[in-house]
């Protein structure tokens, strides 16, 4: 098959979206298919030989129309480029699969309820509904999101399927030698070190810096390493400033290290340097196991999760695999963290072994199977 993946972010950009797209491309290519990746031109983002860039919606639609693709995968969020790529795919005779991940406007409604009544929000809902209903297949990260979208958009069972997050244990693992090097580089000494990987804005990193880290640093001499996917947007700058302000107020500036846009191939070194992985869910239901949880576990890190009770997916993952703890608020988080810190941390080899059950290859395999079925086994 000739496959096109349309994505809002691609190499050399960083983040979970890029990692997921790369995993799809690698698996499809290794399975004998021709894969192209198409992303928008963005100021300050360099070119990569493995990624095509488009400068307008017209250019996007033209590439889809003339590319003679068998299948097109549209990555969301945002939903807008998929809204235009979908009819172009249909006109070109290509099957269109939407990598929805989650019901996007529902998540946005929970993050910022004031948006719900705006004209822009209602327009996004209409675009999202059209794209879900007219895609040939729609993939989601977890069962609760799939069920919610099926009900909201009246999607038939045969149209939807799961392609969950996961990790790549070939690229993320624990390395004792690299741990020693990275700890020396970051001046961590013998401190109990908390590691965070991910972006800024969709998780409660500010709450951790203001309500948790000062307590943990005082009680346990803990340090923290933030490995952040960073595009230097206004919202990211504001969040980063608040994080640093909270740390500075507690007099802990020297106990926190910030690393930005880490190359994926180096990630295992700095996760190896940490002792516990931080997974701070936002203060609303986000019912999925986030990618960073899998990556931390792959490096042998037990995960310390702050998540509301409705986030059943992460709670089930942690409990069933004895992979750390889940707390409902920062007070409970601090208490459970202290209990973990005073005891003996789980063996890294046992934690890392958990990740073998949750690989990105399994998600990519599920997507490829759906494409092959749509193409009649081609």
Q: What is the pLDDT of residue 102?
A: 76
Q: How many CB atoms lie within 10 A of CB 84?
A: 18
Q: What is the pLDDT of residue 378?
A: 53
- What is the total residue count of the chain? 378
> Residue 282: phi, psi to the nearest 5?
-70, 170
Q: What is the pTM (predicted TM-score) of this model?
A: 0.83
Q: What is the dihedral of CA 12, 62, 73, 149, to 10 degrees?
A: 110
Spatial contact of 86 and 74, defined as CB atoms under 8 Å apart: yes
Of 244, 252, 236, 315, whose CA–CA distance to 281 is shortest?
315
Q: What is the pLDDT of residue 311?
A: 85
Mean pLDDT split into 10-residue runs, the chain, 378 residues = 96 86 95 96 86 96 97 93 96 97 73 74 88 96 88 93 91 96 96 94 92 97 94 89 97 96 90 98 83 95 94 92 96 97 93 93 94 83
Of 249, 123, 108, 272, whose CA–CA distance to 184 is shortest?
272
Q: What is the pLDDT of residue 283?
A: 85
Q: What is the dihedral of CA 242, 244, 247, 251, to 10 degrees?
A: -130
Spell out the domains of the chain, with CATH numbers in brackets: 2-166+359-374 (3.40.50.2000), 176-357 (3.40.50.2000)
- Start-to-end C-alpha separation, the chain: 7
Q: How many CB atoms lie within 10 A of CB 358?
A: 20
């Amino acid at each position: 098959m000739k496959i096109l993946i349309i994505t809002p972010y691609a190499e050399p950009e960083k983040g979970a979206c890029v990692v997921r797209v790369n995993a799809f491309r690698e698996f499809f290519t290794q399975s004998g298919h021709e894969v192209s990746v198409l992303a928008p031109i963005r100021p300050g983002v360099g070119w990569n030989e493995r990624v095509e860039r488009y400068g307008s919606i017209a250019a996007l639609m033209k590439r889809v129309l003339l590319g003679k693709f068998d299948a097109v995968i549209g990555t969301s969020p945002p939903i807008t480029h998929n809204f235009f790529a979908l009819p172009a795919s249909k006109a070109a005779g290509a099957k269109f699969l939407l990598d929805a991940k989650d019901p996007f406007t529902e998540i946005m409604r929970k993050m910022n309820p004031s948006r719900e009544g705006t004209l822009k929000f209602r327009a996004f809902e209409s675009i999202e509904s059209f794209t879900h209903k007219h895609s040939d297949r729609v993939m989601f990260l977890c069962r609760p999101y799939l069920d919610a979208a099926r009900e909201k958009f009246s999607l038939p069972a045969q149209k939807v399927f799961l392609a969950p997050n996961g990790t790549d244990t070939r690229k993320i693992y624990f390395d004792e030698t690299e741990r020693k090097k990275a700890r020396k580089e970051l001046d961590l000494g013998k401190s109990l070190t908390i590691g965070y990987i991910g972006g800024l804005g969709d998780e409660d990193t500010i709450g951790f810096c203001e309500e948790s880290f000062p307590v943990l640093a005082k009680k346990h001499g803990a340090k923290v390493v933030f490995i952040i996917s960073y595009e230097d947007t206004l919202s990211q700058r504001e969040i980063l400033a608040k994080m640093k302000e909270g740390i500075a107020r507690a007099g802990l500036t020297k106990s926190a290290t910030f690393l930005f846009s880490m190359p994926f191939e180096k990630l295992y070194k700095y996760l190896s340097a940490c002792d516990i992985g931080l997974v701070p869910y936002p203060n609303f239901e986000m019912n999925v196991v986030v990618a960073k949880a899998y990556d931390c576990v792959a490096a042998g890190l037990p995960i310390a999760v702050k998540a509301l009770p409705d986030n059943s997916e992460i709670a089930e993952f942690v409990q069933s695999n004895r992979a750390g703890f889940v707390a409902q608020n920062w007070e409970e988080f601090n208490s459970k963290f202290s209990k973990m810190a005073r005891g003996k941390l789980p063996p890294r080899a046992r934690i890392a072994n958990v990740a073998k059950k949750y690989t990105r290859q399994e998600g990519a395999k599920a997507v490829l199977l759906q494409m092959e079925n749509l193409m009649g086994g081609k």
